[in-house]
Structure 1
Amino acid sequence: MLRSVQGRGADDDGAIETVPFQGLIRFERQAPVRQVSYYICGELIEPQYYTELYYTLRTATDTDLIYIHLNSPGGDFNTGLQIINNIAASEAKVVTVLEARAYSMAAMIFLSGDELYVHDNCQLMLHTYSGVFSGKGNEQQAEVAAVGKWFEKVMRRICARFLSDEELDNIIKGSDFWMDSDEIRRRLAKDARPAGKRSTARKPPARKRATGASR
């Protein structure tokens, strides 16, 4: 059925004419897309050396696209966790790119992206944390227990969409878990989470991926 809408024509006398309604009204907003790339190569060191990355993630808008390229053996747990938390808080779409290897904390950063991309001939490895503790015996025991529970929560929250419960249990108990590019892609293909979408549990409510060290 053809419908019409009333609109003012171009007649000099200002007459109203009937124009066909096409069933679709188009609105367009043009916004520049800012694309930023960071390369994390080598060991993750102390958190203060990554403040520019944190700031970029925190101040980005929903039209920004941020790439984090990874080739790292892992490193400082606090640094990795701060990067992961800022990815989760960012309004930008964050793409993590595996370019060679990502072990330990670097692997968890890779798995925290909104979209994950892996090149050929790459390797991913996950394992439990390692650290150095000091103080009286009872203090060390309490710290080891607290850090262990903390690490397990972080590991399960980040890796649950990628690893089975049995695999996570084995990692927590001390096993190393290795994957090559083919295995990573196989698992990514089974990931039901749409690319670029975060779980609402990862977002701070206001805005809308320790002393031990992981190596």
Structure 2
Amino acid sequence: MKYNTSNIESIGKEYYPMNIITETRSSFRHVVPITGDIGEIYEYGEFVKILACASEGDEVYIQLSSSGGDFNTCDYLCRRMDECEAKITVEIGLTCASVASAIALHAHAWVIHSSSTMTIESCSHSTGYGKESDVRARTHFVERVNKEWIERTYRGFLSEHELNDVLNNGKDLNFYSDDLHERMPRHKKYRQECSDREVEEIIKYWKNQGTA
């Protein structure tokens, strides 16, 4: 029997096939620029489709340079990012402020340049018009939504003192390249710990269901 020399291993004077199996796998790298003000949800349909269709071996590379924008759109995009199976990398630009910073923090990895910055602040809103009771109710609603969203988004990146400054003192927090290099690994570790706890809770729940 003869074997092709590209697929054999020589041992002494005899030849044995190495049984090498070669598989072809394809992966994609999607580069998505998010620049300027973050607009309405419908403007990001193509981006949302990429997040939904990208597989585990793919990468979604976001070039982020934005001073913020629509709160609803940002929250929607962050949830779609959490559902994405692919690795998400965010390149943080010179300006990454307000709700845009949340998009950066929902990534798995970051590219931080010497010019990269991040600004974290509480949301801005108008009390609107109407009866005094309506304005008061609307204000209470926005305050609660803002508080819970900021705590959920920035805990692990900000200290408890910094969270209090943003929520209760109206302070804007500015971070520079060296700050981001220091804090991003800590934030990534915190998110992983949260994810692990969620998995443990799910497993515990189903075990309890089985013994009930």
Tell me the equivalent position of 1:107.
101
Q: Does 1:179 align with 2:175?
A: yes
Q: Which has the higher contact order (CA 8 A, sep 6+)?
A: 1
Match of 1:146 among 129, 141, 150: 141
Cα distance in 2, alignment partners of residues 80 and 133 from structure 1: 21
Match of 2:122 among 110, 117, 128: 128
Q: How far apart are residue 26 of structure 1 and its match?
A: 9.0
Query: What code does the residue aligned with 2:38 have?
Result: L
Tell me the equivalent position of 1:37.
31
SS in 2 for 1:171: helix
SS in 1 for 2:51: helix
Q: Does 1:85 align with 2:79?
A: yes
Q: How far apart are residue 177 of structure 1 and its match?
A: 0.3
Tell me the equivalent position of 1:160.
155
**Percent identity between the aligned chains?**
24
User: Structure 2 vs 1, CA of residues 192 and 110 (structure 1 numbering), >3 Å: closer, same or farther?
Assistant: closer
Which has the larger helix fraction?
A: 2
SS in 2 for 1:54: helix
SS in 1 for 2:152: helix
SS in 1 for 2:26: coil
Q: How far apart are residue 140 of structure 1 and its match?
A: 2.0
Query: What code does the residue aligned with 1:179 have?
Result: F
Cα distance in 2, alignment partners of residues 33 and 195 from structure 1: 26
Report how many residues are paired: 181
Cα distance in 2, alignment partners of residues 131 and 27 from structure 1: 60
User: Structure 2 vs 1, CA of residues 32 and 182 (structure 1 numbering), >3 Å: closer, same or farther?
Assistant: same
Q: How far apart are residue 117 of structure 1 and its match?
A: 2.1
Structure 1 length as normaliser, TM-score? 0.75
Q: Does 1:119 align with 2:101?
A: no
Q: Does 1:59 align with 2:60?
A: no
Structure 2: segments with no counterpart, 5+ residues:
2-18, 203-212
